Structure 1
Amino acid sequence: MKRIFLLVMLVTFVFSCKNESKQTEDSVDITQNMSEDKEISYSSFGKEINAADALSAKRMATHFESMAIGDSIDTKMIAKVDEVCQAKGCWMKVDLENGEQVMVKFKDYGFFMPKDIAGREVVLNGKAFVNEVPVEEQRHYAEDAGQSAEEIAKITAPKKTFSFVADGVLLKED
């Protein structure tokens, strides 16, 4: 079953990438036609991508739940931003709509996100995986997020997390 799932994801990824260009601009306005009457405007960060064939956060949650530590898939997903690194925008957490979050980092630190985008919708393209985050790394992220020393001190054990390394992000315009 796992092999079938990976094969389906690989085929989906290959077909979704066949017409992508390799432009890497920090911020570009992109308009996607979602229907004849409705256009959605995005700002682009990192590799130029489009919103077509992106999985919903809820659908992506089911994929994450079936993955074990060390598993990964190439995918595209749509989610709402919960929080962003307030130091420089070098990571963000997005909501999976099931009470879980995905920690998103950016490939090779090639780009950063604006720090004021909590609550906005993004389309992420890249690699989704499950890993175990050590205590020190969790504390670092908590510090970046502006948590108190007391909250940071409560972090005492490694944590299984859903992660994503994005090579391109679309930020939906309000």
Structure 2
Amino acid sequence: MLHIALKTIAICLLAAQPLAAENLGQPSGEVVLTVSGAPQTGNAGGAAQFDLAMLEGLGAVEFETSTIWTQGVQHFEGVPLDQLVDRLDITGTTLRATAINDYAVDIPLSDAVEGGPIIAYKLNGEEMSVRDKGPLWIVYPYDSKTEYQSEVVYSRSIWQLDRIEVIE
């Protein structure tokens, strides 16, 4: 009985530990997102690289919302920003999200909350091409809270995202 109890405690302790990026594995497909500057990153020389399958493996959420860039309500699917932050054990105050064309925005780490923004990789059930704001787009559930319907939040909704850096 003691053996089972100790085994259960050990499993609980392991489950409570954040998984280091070394345990992410290596991308087998095209790298769509690189995260740098986090203390636990490390599957790519000080950074964490993700292919689409790896992002999907972090756990997907879906929501519908309207945007100022599209017509009508759209269906988005992606990994919650808070899950990515938790998975990589990111601490600090600011993330710099950068697009393929080097356009960058700063996002406060405080935005990475449950029910908050996602790193969307599907729009209306389809992967997004670069031409259609993909492959990744930071999307907030704009219709869920009035505070998400502001110019400040809209400015953080970067599309063609390909890298995130923890800067502060």
Say whether the fold is shared (TM-score over 0.5).
no
The structure whose residues are more often helix, as a share, is 2
> TM-score normalized by structure 1?
0.25
Q: For the pair shown, which has the larger CA radius of gyration, 1 or 2? A: 2
The structure whose residues are more often strand, as a share, is 1
